Copies of this chain bind each other. A is one copy, B any other.
Amino acid sequence: MAAVKTMQDLFVHTLKDIYYAEKLIYRSLPKMIKQASSPELKQAFEKHREETEGQIERLEQVFEECEIAARGVRCEAMDGIIAEAKDVMDEVEDDQVRDAGMLAAAQTIEHYEMSRYGTLIAWAKQLGMKNSIKLLQQTLDEEKKTDKLLSELAINTVNQNA
């Protein structure tokens, strides 16, 4: 953070933050898929993992436009969100209550991502990074769709069973 002097530096720092976060999400989803009891939730997590793979690739293309190597910086916020999700998975015994907790964690993950991508898009516009704007917007659109799907699941399926 000490090396952040310009908007370009801030953009790259935040890009590294979300790159770390996406990779952590990608590594954490298999356990969430395994632990989900509701088939709809399992399916939503599987879809999220596939999408995350594509989102990581898009971030690598944005690193390319910045002409720097793709590398993450530790994102304590996502560490905390994932730690909370792990607590739910490891310690809540009731299937439906655990599903509800995991779904809430997934929604928090989505909101973190939406906030970061929204910020990166605003800064990419300011910095005139045309290709990156398009890539980041594609991901933001996906995240919004996933958030909507998870919200519907929260109302219709998981919570009704719990």
Contacts from A to B (Cβ < 8 Å): 1-2, 4-7, 9-10, 14, 17, 75-81, 83-84, 87-88, 91-94, 96-97, 100-101, 104, 107-108, 110-112, 114-116, 118-119, 122-123, 126, 151, 154-155, 159-160, 162
Chain B residues with CB below 8 A from A4, complex form = 88, 91-92, 97, 101
A-B contact pairs, 29 of them (CB 8 A): A1-B92, A4-B88, A4-B91, A4-B92, A4-B97, A5-B93, A5-B94, A5-B97, A6-B94, A7-B96, A7-B100, A10-B100, A17-B84, A75-B80, A76-B76, A76-B81, A77-B81, A77-B108, A78-B80, A80-B80, A104-B116, A107-B118, A107-B119, A108-B112, A111-B112, A111-B114, A122-B154, A126-B159, A126-B160
A126 contact from B88, B116, B162, Cβ within 8 A: B162
